[in-house]
Structure 1
Amino acid sequence: MSIDALFKDKAIKAKWKVKNLGQWLLDGSLPTDELLAFANRQKPADKATCIEAIEFATKKSPGIADEILLEYVTQTLKEDEPRLKWESAKVIGNIAALFPGDLEKSIANLLPNAENNGTVVRWATAYALAEIVKLKTEINKKLLSEIELLCERESDNGVKKKYLDALKKVKK
């Protein structure tokens, strides 16, 4: 089945699309660049489903990611659709360890989302920022103070816990 056919089949629910696409990414039958090209032509909901499939796959196998994927999800953090923001942030969290020296633009695009009205957007952003901080790179000199401020201002305990857990690991 092709990506087009998968999305045109209205009997297939979004979660099954994510699972199928994710498996195709993991088994190598679908290159990430092909899925990204398809996603670029989609409406926001379907684009988010594509990114969720990438999140599914990178959670199991971060190594499928490359610089092009990192750049793509970094850019989608700026989109209006909340689901695009949170799925992209989760992908960045999953793959950050592969690109420790290339995360400044991702951080710059994540930080505005850390104060988003949506709890899920803030949680996913906290996850990504926490994973970046745990890498203990030079960027932490600037990022740690940002995370401490975000943690102080955060009202949701789940989001705050992501930041606190990362700060504990870094300060050990």
Structure 2
Amino acid sequence: MQKVTLTEVFTHPIAQKYLKRSGMAHAISCTYHAYRLALKHGADPDLATKAALLHDIGHYEWYTDGEWDYEKYKQNDIHAIKGAERAHKLLVRLGEHPKAAKEIALAILLHTDSYLPEGTLNQNTLQKVVRLADEKDEEPEGLHHYRQISDELALKKIREIDRKISDLAINPLKKSV
């Protein structure tokens, strides 16, 4: 059973601030991808959807002369580190179980290797699901961060996922994909 719902996370002012900065439509899309991928790969859909929703809340806006500078972003960004910290703090504040908050934060931390030195990550299933969900929604030059969605539609979609997760808790054999 969910301790903190996705809706509670989504509607919190801190989440709203950073989701709007990093791209709410992208976050919602990744949340749906994470739900389906979690079912497919045997990860916890509750943890996967929360991590996918919050995976980019650590983004800093990299601009040069008032224009988005994708190259500067690619060279200097550490959004996964900052996002993991923000998500962990938010989830604990909301009352998420500390172990779950840590798992979600680690999945956010490891959803990309863009900030790491050369090498590969050894990811657990939850971390892979969040990375794959993000990759499914990427667009060239980071354009996925600029797609738009209304606040009303975003909240409707988040509530739909909450219902699916709740249904799974009641009937774990039912896969509502």
TM-score in terms of structure 2 length: 0.29
| Bigger Rg, which one | 1
Question: Which one has more relative contact order, counting CA pairs under 8 Å at least 6 apart?
Answer: 2
